[in-house]
Amino acid sequence: MVDSESEKQRWSEAIWRVPSNRLCADCSSSMPEWASVNLCVLLCEKCAGAHRSLGQNVSKVRSLKLDERVWTDDLIRVQ
């Protein structure tokens, strides 16, 4: 689990080092800060809202920066 601000920053930067993670999976906005953890895609704020409206049975949306309790070591490795 991510515990400190510097650790959170470090792993989010590691996620963005992967070229496909630098763009929103839906609209191609740069540096998305949200993720659908069950679909394994990164999303911009606008598209994250659209995914949320689909319901958690379709897309479980979490913030890369705000939902630190969600980001277990296993989820971080999925990047």
Query: What's the pTM?
Result: 0.76
Q: What pLDDT is recorded for position 6?
A: 75
Q: What pLDDT is recorded for position 11?
A: 72
Q: What pLDDT is recorded for position 30?
A: 95
DSSP-assigned letters across all residues of 24-68: -TTT--BS--EEETTTTEEE-HHHHHHHHHH-TTT--EEETTT-T
Structural domains in the chain plus CATH codes? 5-78 (1.10.220.150)
| Residue numbers of the chain with a pLDDT score lower than 70 | 1-4, 8, 67-79
